[in-house]
Amino acid sequence: MNYYVITETNWAKLRDEILSLAECCHKAFGEKSKHTDWLHNGDVCRLLNISKRTLQHYRDTGVLPFTQIGHKCYYKREDVETLLLMKSNKPKNKMI
Protein backbone atom coordinates (compact mmCIF):
# COMPACT_ATOMS: atom_id res chain seq x y z
CA MET A 1 0.00 0.00 0.00
CA ASN A 2 1.32 3.41 -0.95
CA TYR A 3 0.73 6.67 0.84
CA TYR A 4 0.78 10.06 -0.83
CA VAL A 5 1.08 13.38 0.93
CA ILE A 6 -0.55 16.42 -0.65
CA THR A 7 -0.67 19.97 0.54
CA GLU A 8 -3.79 21.54 1.96
CA THR A 9 -3.99 23.84 -1.08
CA ASN A 10 -3.87 20.90 -3.50
CA TRP A 11 -6.47 19.04 -1.41
CA ALA A 12 -8.81 22.06 -1.59
CA LYS A 13 -8.38 22.23 -5.39
CA LEU A 14 -9.10 18.50 -5.74
CA ARG A 15 -12.15 18.76 -3.47
CA ASP A 16 -13.50 21.71 -5.47
CA GLU A 17 -13.03 19.83 -8.74
CA ILE A 18 -14.86 16.79 -7.37
CA LEU A 19 -17.72 18.94 -6.09
CA SER A 20 -17.93 20.70 -9.46
CA LEU A 21 -18.07 17.37 -11.25
CA ALA A 22 -20.74 16.12 -8.86
CA GLU A 23 -22.82 19.25 -9.52
CA CYS A 24 -22.54 18.76 -13.30
CA CYS A 25 -23.63 15.13 -12.94
CA HIS A 26 -26.54 16.13 -10.75
CA LYS A 27 -27.68 18.68 -13.33
CA ALA A 28 -27.38 16.16 -16.17
CA PHE A 29 -28.75 13.09 -14.40
CA GLY A 30 -30.67 14.57 -11.51
CA GLU A 31 -34.04 13.58 -10.21
CA LYS A 32 -35.81 14.99 -13.26
CA SER A 33 -34.11 12.61 -15.69
CA LYS A 34 -35.77 9.34 -16.54
CA HIS A 35 -33.44 6.40 -16.30
CA THR A 36 -33.95 3.74 -18.90
CA ASP A 37 -34.78 0.25 -17.76
CA TRP A 38 -32.70 -2.22 -19.80
CA LEU A 39 -33.76 -5.80 -20.53
CA HIS A 40 -31.66 -8.70 -21.75
CA ASN A 41 -32.50 -11.45 -24.26
CA GLY A 42 -34.31 -13.78 -21.86
CA ASP A 43 -36.55 -11.02 -20.50
CA VAL A 44 -37.50 -9.85 -23.99
CA CYS A 45 -38.25 -13.38 -25.21
CA ARG A 46 -40.51 -13.96 -22.21
CA LEU A 47 -42.35 -10.64 -22.55
CA LEU A 48 -42.94 -10.99 -26.29
CA ASN A 49 -43.47 -14.76 -26.11
CA ILE A 50 -40.94 -15.37 -28.89
CA SER A 51 -37.91 -17.62 -29.41
CA LYS A 52 -34.29 -16.48 -29.28
CA ARG A 53 -34.08 -16.97 -33.05
CA THR A 54 -37.09 -14.68 -33.61
CA LEU A 55 -35.46 -12.10 -31.36
CA GLN A 56 -32.29 -12.34 -33.48
CA HIS A 57 -34.43 -11.81 -36.60
CA TYR A 58 -35.95 -8.70 -34.98
CA ARG A 59 -32.44 -7.37 -34.32
CA ASP A 60 -31.19 -8.20 -37.82
CA THR A 61 -34.14 -6.56 -39.56
CA GLY A 62 -34.29 -3.51 -37.29
CA VAL A 63 -37.69 -4.34 -35.84
CA LEU A 64 -36.36 -3.98 -32.30
CA PRO A 65 -33.56 -1.51 -31.51
CA PHE A 66 -30.83 -2.80 -29.20
CA THR A 67 -27.51 -1.91 -27.64
CA GLN A 68 -24.66 -4.39 -27.60
CA ILE A 69 -22.03 -4.35 -24.89
CA GLY A 70 -19.41 -7.01 -25.43
CA HIS A 71 -21.33 -10.06 -26.59
CA LYS A 72 -24.56 -9.20 -24.75
CA CYS A 73 -27.55 -7.39 -26.20
CA TYR A 74 -29.74 -5.07 -24.17
CA TYR A 75 -33.11 -3.57 -25.07
CA LYS A 76 -34.93 -0.52 -23.74
CA ARG A 77 -38.13 -1.44 -21.93
CA GLU A 78 -39.98 1.31 -23.83
CA ASP A 79 -39.00 -0.21 -27.20
CA VAL A 80 -40.14 -3.68 -26.12
CA GLU A 81 -43.46 -2.30 -24.83
CA THR A 82 -44.00 -0.46 -28.12
CA LEU A 83 -43.39 -3.65 -30.09
CA LEU A 84 -45.71 -5.56 -27.76
CA LEU A 85 -48.48 -3.02 -28.42
CA MET A 86 -47.88 -3.27 -32.17
CA LYS A 87 -48.11 -7.07 -31.98
CA SER A 88 -51.34 -6.98 -29.95
CA ASN A 89 -53.01 -4.43 -32.28
CA LYS A 90 -52.11 -6.33 -35.45
CA PRO A 91 -55.22 -8.02 -36.89
CA LYS A 92 -54.98 -11.79 -37.10
CA ASN A 93 -55.75 -13.49 -40.41
CA LYS A 94 -58.68 -15.83 -39.99
CA MET A 95 -59.05 -18.84 -42.23
CA ILE A 96 -62.64 -19.52 -43.28
CB 72 within 8 A of CB 38: no
> Has residue 68 got a pLDDT over 80?
yes
Q: What is the pLDDT of residue 36?
A: 72
Q: What percent of the chain has pLDDT over 90?
A: 57
pLDDT band at 29 (very low <50, low <70, confident <90, very high): confident
Q: In 3D, which of 71, 43, 48 has the Cα closest to residue 63?
A: 48
At a CB cut-off of 8 Å and minimum separation 6, what does 72 contact? Answer: 40, 41
Q: What is the pLDDT of residue 22?
A: 85
CA distance 65 to 85: 15
Higher per-residue pLDDT: 76 or 34: 76
